[in-house]
């Protein structure tokens, strides 16, 4: 574990890990439905931005 990672609260790290798993699954589901690559990337990027904002203000 990096020294920067040690300062991250466990609740925040756990939420970020769950978000990463969800985004990977979403990307795979979109690819399976034959959604265009750019549209899928935009959808995942939009959701990533939402999760990033949520985690940034999440009480630790």
Residue spans per domain, the chain: 9-55
For residues 27 and 42, give the distance between their C-alpha atoms in angstroms, rounded to a whole number: 10
pLDDT in tens, 18-27: 999 999 999 9
Residue indicated by tokens 């979109």: 30
Residue 1 has pLDDT above 70, yes or no: no
Say if CB 56 and CB 16 are below 8 A apart. no
How far is residue 56 CA from its own chain's centroid? 12
Return the structure tokens found at 47: 């959701």
Please indicate whether residue 13 or residue 34 has the higher confidence score (pLDDT): 34
Rounded to two decimals, what is the model's pTM? 0.76
């Amino acid at each position: 574990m990096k020294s920067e990672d040690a300062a991250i609260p466990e609740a925040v790290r756990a939420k970020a890990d769950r978000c990463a798993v969800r985004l990977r699954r979403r990307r795979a589901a979109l690819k399976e439905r034959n959604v265009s690559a750019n549209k899928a990337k935009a959808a995942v990027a939009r959701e990533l931005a939402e999760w990033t904002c949520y985690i940034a203000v999440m009480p630790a």
